[in-house]
Amino acid sequence: MAPSIAVVVASSTNHHPYSPCPLAPTKKEETRSGAGEAEEEALRERNEELERELKKSLEREGEMREELQRTSQRLKAIEEAEERLCEIEAEALDQARAYHIQNRSLMDQLSQAHKLLQATNHTSLLLLGGRGGERIFRLDRPRPPRPDSDNNNNSN
């Protein structure tokens, strides 16, 4: 006797290997294949929808990258402007200090000149014979009129 060989046919359906006719679809399998086509179509639509969403997402990502680049450039410009502003502020502070020193020097010179002028006036008053508390007018200055004395002389 010849050896017997058993052949098992693999199918995409869930058949038991010893079913009567594994190659012929049953009514239950036909219903499943119709439902499988509908399910496959739903999966295709969902896949297309996801692809559209991915495309939109990639476009938004590109726009956001461009916006990020523009913002980065603005930030760089702002940082450079801030650095320049700090330099200008330091220069202004140096100028203000120099101005203050110059102002102080001029005030000291003015004070010394005023003291010298007072000392000169005091010496000239002493030379003219003035005493403490008296006002002596120098000859080169006109004497201001006294309103009270003119009125008294005219009324007599």
Triad 83, 85, 90: Cα angle to 5°: 100
Is 66 part of any domain?
A: yes
Average pLDDT, the chain: 78
Q: Name the domain count of the chain.
A: 1
Q: What is the pLDDT of residues 34-54, one digit of tens each?
A: 678 889 999 999 999 999 999
**What is the torsional sign of CA 142, 147, 150, 153?**
negative
- Domain boundaries, position 53: 27-125
Tens of pLDDT, residue by residue over 60-109, are 999 999 999 999 999 999 999 999 999 999 999 999 999 999 999 999 99
The answer to the question of residue 79 being in a domain is yes
Rounded Cα gap, residues 62 and 90, in angstroms: 42
- Can you give the pLDDT at residue 156? 46
